[in-house]
Amino acid sequence: MNLFQTIFTGSNQAVSAAEGLLKQAIEQKGRDHKVAFPDTAYALPVIYAATGIKITTLGELEGAIGIVKSLIVEELQLTQALNAGLATAVAAEIIEAIKYAMNETPYEAPCAGHITDPIIRSLGVPLVTGDIPGVAVVLGECPDSATAAKVIKDYQSKGLLTFLVGKVIDQAIEGNVKMGLELRVIPLGYDVTSVIHVVSVAIRASLIFGAVEPGKLDKHMEYTKNRVPAFVNAFGPLSELVVSAGAGAIALGFPVITDQVVPEVPTLLLTQKDYDKVVATSLEARGIKIKITELPIPVAFAAAFEGERIRKDD
Amino acid sequence: MSDQFISIYQSGEEQLLEKAVKDGAETMWDRKAAQKTPCGFGEKGVCCRICAMGPCRVSPVAGKGAQKGICGATADVIVARNYARMVAAGTAAHSDHARDIAHILHMASRDGNYKVRDEKKLMSLAKEWGVNTENRDIYEIAHEVAEIALNEFGKPFGTLKFLERAPELRQKVWEDLQIKPRAIDREIATILHSTHVGCTGDAESLVHMSMRTSLADGWGGSMIGTEFSDIIFGTPVPRETEANLGVLDEKQVNIILHGHEPSLSEMIVMASLDPEMQKLAKEVGAEGINLAGMCCTGNEVTMRHGVKIAGNFYQQEMAILTGAVEAIIVDVQCIFPALAKLSDCYHTKFITTSPKAKITGATHIEFHEDNAMESAKNIVKEAIENFKNRKNEKVFIPEIKSNAVVGYSVEAVIKQLDKVVNPHIDPMGTVKPLADVIKAGVLRGAVGIVGCNNPKSKHDYSHIEIMKKLIANDVIVVTTGCAAQAAAKAGLLTKDARKLAGQGLATVCELVDIPPVLHMGSCVDISRILTIVGEVAKHLGIDNSDLPVAGIAPEWMSEKAVAIATYVISSGIDTFLGITPPVTGSDEVVDILTNRVENMTGAKFFIEEDPHALADKVLGRIEEKRQKLGI
Ligand code: SF4
Ligand code: SF4
């Protein structure tokens, strides 16, 4: 199947999954049941940024499904492919929102799920100063936990903020990666859709720090592309859903680097089969330059990196 | 942007045509009107005057009227014969151009007028041709390489060397069809032989021979012309320039370079920079010397020096109508003989330079390559001195011009592509990024838009409309010849023009830092397009005919264009013609060209005079090819 068709397939899967879940949820709780992520002033941030609409009930989510569908136009051109990627992102947000609507605590340790506004605000300064030089989203499953740990620790040692999605979370734990916000490694969740919680971080950065108006999706995408130095590492076999989510990432300006054979798009969708080179490849693709000597590492922070290559005088 | 632009420059042109009437000058429009309705027999290709039993004209309608010439030649044979002769003439034009360039390399020397400027390109060609390079003087190598090239025109055995540059699958197609050209001149001669009275009487055989001859152009003459011009004058790199008649400058000596061969134009460029010439210009009261190019010679000097583009084929008369041109210096090909009479209405000197193209009424100052600089200075001097004769009351320069970026040789394109290579994955210096974006679908395909102007079509309209539609649909456009100059004038060769592109192409343009339409040079430089298509095919391990690519000649007119179109088809690339060729008198020939040839070469002709419908067909065909390939 050609790349764009794969994306459309994934997006259609995402939307029908969201639709199905929403139907069930409404049957159980009714249309007026409240929908919200904890500790955020931006309702469902992706939908809010894209449309300017704050969704508060399950009933209103039905309208959001319409938005998703309208984004999927199966014409074989980049614009439509990227829009379909965004559709997957919105569908993922709907699915995740339903999780929160149906369950007080849909996520439990080690997974963080939704990231709150206060955390995003606390990340703002180090992101702007370059103290956090980049945001890595590691998704899927590495061939083994040692490889996973190696890649993640490498990001950690370079001061990047790393989000984990999928089986790689277990691999990181097995590989003794120390996690937590202050250690800059945050496992989000096991479902692919939980990747939306990092998209939500980028989008809220645009709303909060960029002061971009809600509803101006183009401007948000411009902000994330230019100001949020994020990228995605997708490991292991890629389902259509993951590919279409990847298109969403690319729409926001975040390159996707995978260990799988895919139709590559220079600087945006790349295959790197050599795990020793994944980090360098990713940083290069996102244009992230790490100046080791200039990176101020707080003591408590540096202490987390036992066994990592950090020179004393750094 | 370009919409507005094209109407602006059309209004400029209208003003010039009005001026022509006022000045009592005759233009091609007057002559076209005098021609009245063109002869239907010639238009359909069913008129034959190959022998003195004729002329014969047969009915284009089967079963009605004369069905055969006196010798018995049918409409099919007559049409195919005429077509084959067009191919031969086109091939001859490109090849004679190339032969001169090869001669120039053969006479190049360290302290001569012609030098080796791109040693790297020479060395790689020497290696390709098995020329010993070790411990040898670069000029010794150059001369040996030149001699090999010169032998390509008439070698007694084997087939053309450059054919080996094509993807292996393509070479196999040629092998199987037995259309590998042997020697360039031989193929031209063979066509002239076979189209003689009483020789080939089979349309398919004539088309077959035409393909072989045309390949002797694309992969022979034209490719030699391009390669050797790069070696001698430098391989083009991206640079900025301006285009359209507004580049003429009231305060300077305006010299128009028109024609084809860079051996002349390069020297004129150098001569006009000479302090002695600059001084002379001041002495006659001008602020300086303003060179501007036209047609392919214009393309050659703009690609290598950023010389401004005065206009394309259609504008050669307009340039003179401005009354501001001191000299129009020409060599060979696409030069209206009408310029002689037209320049008489003004002070303009119409200077012919080549013994291959003398024109009655022109000032002939022969250009001598063995004394090139002196020769060029003499010509420039003649132009400068003519500044005094300018009649200011007759000067009108329309204020129309546009910025353009030119200079995209294959080497330059690859260098731009290196910008997006991730060094942790891939090596530099390949076409992989281009192959990748095509495979992924970010670019739907790539199209070469080439060819002339033709008064049958509104000036540049088809060029621009087709380009705009294709880039809006994420198809990258490369262009040469007068089509490229149309693009330059319409602003499509600016990086800004990516605003008119679809998101896929716009993204590629932004990442690679290029305009959506790439100027790849002159007509012989279509060989650059063959090279880049071949490289992408090789990279993907497929044949040219599998790729979502196409060639378009929206406003073609010359026999060279027929040769080009034929070698493009023979190279496996679909070709779309915006002007109907004189073949419609034979259903058989039309069927071969627009249908059966696909079974032979994997590509065929499409004839479509409506530019919008043509663009739609191209897009449809591109998607068809993608689907077949599974991308
Ligand atoms: S070659 Fe045949 S068709 Fe042509 S002019 Fe002579 S007799 Fe007539
Ligand atoms: S494009 Fe056509 S008109 Fe223009 S220079 Fe080439 S052959 Fe002549």
Q: What is the pLDDT of residues B457-500, one digit of tens each?
A: 999 999 999 999 999 999 999 999 999 999 999 999 999 999 99
Is the pLDDT at B279 greater than 80? The verdict is yes
DSSP 8-state secondary structure symbol assigned to residue A116: P
Architecture of domain B74-233: Up-down Bundle (1.20)
CB contact under 8 Å between B422 and A284, yes or no, is yes
For range B518-533, the mean pLDDT: 97
Grouping H, G, I as helix, E, B as strand and the rest as coil, residue A272 is: coil
pLDDT of amino acid B2 = 54
Q: Which of B53, B59, B67 to mutate to test the pocket of ligand 1 (most atoms within 8 A of CB)?
A: B53
pLDDT of amino acid A312 = 40
Dig out the tokens for B261 from the structure. Answer: 């061969």
For range A235-244, the mean pLDDT: 97
Spell out the residues 6+ positions from residue A82 whose beta carbon is closer than 8 angstroms to its own.
A247, A248, A250, A251, B503
Domain ranges of chain B: 74-233, 245-394, 407-629
Percent of chain A clearing pLDDT 90 (strictly above): 88
Q: From the CA of B47, which ligand is nearest? A: 1
Same fold, B245-394 and B407-629: yes
pLDDT of amino acid A295 = 47
- The residue type found at B441 is G
Residue that has been written with the tokens 């004189």 in this structure: B582
Is the pLDDT at A297 greater than 60? The verdict is no
pLDDT of amino acid B3 = 64
Confidence label for A314 from pLDDT (cuts 50, 70 and 90): very low
Over chain A, what is the mean pLDDT? 92
Over chain B, what is the mean pLDDT? 97
Give yes or no for B442 touching A (CB within 8 A).
Answer: yes
Q: Which residues of B touch A254 (CB under 8 A)?
A: none
Is the pLDDT at B5 greater than 70? The verdict is no
DSSP 8-state secondary structure symbol assigned to residue A265: B
Specify the higher pLDDT residue, A303 or B176: B176
Residues of A with CB under 8 A from a CB of B: 2-4, 76-79, 81-82, 263-267, 269-272, 277, 280-281, 284-285
Distance B67 CA to ligand 2 centre (A): 35
Of the candidates B405, B418, B420, B35, which has an alpha carbon nearest to the alpha carbon of residue B240?
Answer: B405
Confidence label for B241 from pLDDT (cuts 50, 70 and 90): very high
Is the pLDDT at B577 greater than 50? The verdict is yes
Is the pLDDT at B37 greater than 60? The verdict is yes
Q: Which of B256, B258, B295 to mutate to test the pocket of ligand 2 (most atoms within 8 A of CB)?
A: B295
Dig out the tokens for B578 from the structure. Answer: 């915006």
pLDDT of amino acid A306 = 40
Distance B559 CA to ligand 2 centre (A): 10
Q: What is the pLDDT of residues B67-82, one digit of tens each?
A: 999 999 999 999 999 9
- pTM, two decimals, is 0.94
Burial class (CB within 10 angstroms; exposed 0-12, middle 13-18, buried 19+) of B275: exposed
pLDDT of amino acid A308 = 41
A23 to chain B, closest Cα gap in Å? 35
For range B592-600, the mean pLDDT: 98
Confidence label for B62 from pLDDT (cuts 50, 70 and 90): confident
A166 φψ region: left (φ > 0), alpha (ψ -120 to 50), beta (else): left
Would the CB of B55 count as within 6 Å of ligand 1? yes
- From atom 6 of ligand 1, which residue's Cα is the shortest distance away? B51
A251 to chain B, closest Cα gap in Å? 11
Q: Between chain A and chain B, how many beta carbons pairs sit less than 8 Å apart?
A: 71
Q: Is the CB of residue A72 less than 8 Å from the CB of residue A87?
A: yes
Would the CB of B313 count as within 6 Å of ligand 2? yes
pLDDT of amino acid A305 = 47
CATH number of the B407-629 domain = 3.40.50.2030
Q: Which residues of B touch A221 (CB under 8 A)?
A: none
Task: Provide the CATH topology of domain B245-394.
Answer: Rossmann fold (3.40.50)
Q: Which letter, b or e, does each residue of B491-528 get, where b requires 16 or more Cβ atoms within 10 Å of its Cβ? A: bbbbeebbebbbbbbbbbbebbebbbbbbbbbbbbbbb
* B433 closest CB neighbour out of A77, A266, A280: A266
Q: What is the pLDDT of residues A109-166, one digit of tens each?
A: 999 999 999 999 999 889 888 899 999 999 999 999 999 999 999 999 999 999 999 9
- Which residue on chain A is closest to B437 by alpha carbon? A265
pLDDT of amino acid B608 = 98
Distance B336 CA to ligand 2 centre (A): 12
Measure Cα distances from A183 to A146, A161, A170 in Å. Answer: 19, 8, 17
**Is B364 labelled a binding residue?**
no
